[in-house]
Each structure stands twice: as C-alpha cells, then as structure tokens.
Amino acid sequence: MRVTINGETRNVTATRIDALLNELEYEGSHFAIALNFDVLPKSRWAETHLKAGDEIEIITPRQGG
Amino acid sequence: MVKFYDREFSSRLLIGTALYPSPKIMQDAIRASGSQIVTVSLRRESAGGKTGDAFWSLIRELDVTVLPNTAGCKTVREAVTTAKLARELFGTPWVKLEVIADNDTLQPDVVGLVEAATILIKDGFEVFPYCTDDLGVAIRLVDAGCKVVMPWAAPIGSAKGIINRDGLRLLRDRLPDITLVVDAGLGAPSHAAQALELGYDAVLLNTAIAKADDPVAMANAFRLGVEAGRTAYQAGLMEARDFASPSTPVVGTPFWHVVS
C-alpha cells in the first residue's frame, strides 16, 4: 500500500500505525504522529488502520528558538 | 516574579536550545543564564533515527519548563497541527505560536497569527504569540485570549536590538495587564536591559547566546543584563531632557564673582 511518510511516498506492508513504526524501525520513544493533518494520540496507534494515500508525519523534539 | 498564564517564575530570561556548538555547551549556557523556560521545536524523525530521544534527554536533565514553538509554519493549518503535536509530545498547553509570512525577514503573518491563536485558545491552549510591535495586532491577540504577547525587537537572528522603541513602549502603556516579552532580534545584553527598562516582563532569545564566541559567558552576561534592566525599571528611570542640568552644586563655585 502506498502512503506518504514525512513527505515521502513509499510502499508499506503494515496496516496499522504501530505496525508501521515497527516496519520502518522507529525505535525511540518520543514521537507524536499526525495522520492526514490530525494528531493521532499514542493510545490509538494500535487500533488505527492505514489506507492507501494516507499522509503520516512522525515528529520528535528538536532544538528550537 | 513574572507570570505566564497561571505559573510564576523568578527568571525573566527565556532562551532557545538551537545553534549551540555542542549539546554540553547548550546545557551549560542554559544553566548559566538562570532561565527556567526554554524553547524547543518539533521536526520530522527519519526511520531508525533517535535524534529526538537524544535531544529530549538533554533537556530533561536541566529541570526546566519547555515552551514548544511552531517555527517554520507558514499557514494557520500547519501551525495549529504543530501546536497539537507539541501538546501530545510534551504534555503542555503552552505554545510559542509562529506563523511566518516571509522567508527572508521571518516577519510574522499577523493575520494568520490571530486566526491560529483564536483556534488554539478555544481548544485550551495557552498561546505565546510571536508578533510585530503593531498595537492593533497585539490588541487582537489579547481579545482572542492571549495573556502573553511577544513582539519582536528586530527580525529573528538579526542582533539589531530594539528598532522601534516607541512602538514597544506604546504596547507596554496600552497593555499594562498583559505579560509582554520581547522576542527575537536582541544581540547584546544591553538590548535585553533596554527591554526590561521599558517595563517588559521578560525577553526571549537564542542566537545572541548560542553564536557568541563563549556562549556560557554570554548567557551569564544576558542574565545580568536582564537583572540590571528589571532593577532599573523598578527603581524608576529619570526622564530624558533636551538641555544640560549640572549635577555638581552651582552655589559656592570658586571665583563665582568673576564669572559674568
């Protein structure tokens, strides 16, 4: 299934958000995720199904002014 | 003490976490500044990356309050979503709201800023809007529910200091109950002192400390500048005047009788 992750289109086999993170080898613990411009709380990662064309942003803390 | 929404702090210096030569120097500079509030951003994490985790553990060691920003957002939609991501990630209702109109000057899009602030405040956020020194915009932000307003001194990273002193003074006079922070454009501790002398509650800066030859020493210098400015404001500054006025007593001046 083709989805867009952090602005890049790619093919993934995962069908849920938590599985997607595993598939892409995201190992850290401090992420926030936006699915199609809406925040997806961590509590819903396991139950949220992906569909083709979804836009996913995977965000972490970074230096800022 | 300075109040940001319902929380009180003793330090009037807020500092950024970007552009330091090393993570160690960032931590040492933040400690030297005496700051209790630091700004952070949110960025995309690439697959397998742990940059965010590494940075976050550095910040947690400092025992400071985090103010996430929406730096780089150019639309209301981006800024609102970024603020919501920040709330999810950091567990705070605070957000330094930036909506940028122009890449070269990083001038705030004040129309988008008011719109985004309105949306976020209705959603329970405590918004710290980065704005210009325009009074009309500041009033709109206050009407939207902002209890903190953060006008620039000059464009971000420009180090020019306060370029519209009269504008900033007007904001202070017209918004006496709002926590006002000069954010962006400060280059020297004397600039920070000037902001506090005008009655501003605090200053927020990053580049002038991070890009100094010795960021830790400069952080300390800014701490002192803020302290000097605040103390001077409380002490009551004299008014400027157009002509000289002797400080040494005139009466009893030697040879007074020969001076015509």
The pLDDT value given to residue B259? 62
The reported pLDDT for the residue numbered B139 is 98
- Per-residue pLDDT band for A60 (boundaries 50, 70, 90) equals very high
What is residue B260's predicted lDDT score, i.e. its pLDDT? 58
Region A8-15: mean pLDDT is 94
Q: What is the pLDDT of residue B46?
A: 85
Closest to A30 (Cβ–Cβ): which among B20, B52, B207? B52
pTM for this structure? Answer: 0.93
Neighbours of A40 (CB within 10 A): 18
Task: Note whether A63 contacts B68, CB cutoff 8 Å.
Answer: no
Token match 């209301």: residue?
B76
Contact B196, B203 (CB under 8 A): yes
Three-state secondary-structure class, residue B248: coil
Cβ within 8 Å of residue A62, ≥6 positions away:
B40, B41, B42, B43, B51, B52, B55
Chain B residue nearest residue A8, CA to CA:
B46
Give just the sign of the alpha carbon dihedral B18, B20, B26, B31. negative
Helix (H, G, I), strand (E, B) or coil at B165: helix
Q: Is B103 on the interface with A (CB under 8 A)?
A: no
Does A29 have pLDDT greater than 90? Answer: no
User: What contacts B223, CB < 8 A, 6 or more positions away?
Assistant: B11, B13, B32, B33, B34
Tell me which residues of chain B have a pLDDT lower than 50. Answer: none
**Using CA atoms, how far apart are residues B88 and B78, in angstroms rounded to an integer?**
15
pLDDT in tens, B199-213: 999 999 999 999 999
pLDDT tops 80 at residue A6:
yes
For residue B50, the model assigns a pLDDT of: 83
Residues of B within 8 A of A41 (CB-CB) are: 88
Residue A26: its pLDDT value, please?
87
CB contacts of A61 in chain B (<8 Å) are 40-42, 52, 55-56, 59, 68, 89-90
| Angle at the Cα of B204 from the Cα atoms of B218 and A59, rounded to 5 degrees | 105
Q: Give the strand pairing for B126-131 and B148-151.
A: parallel
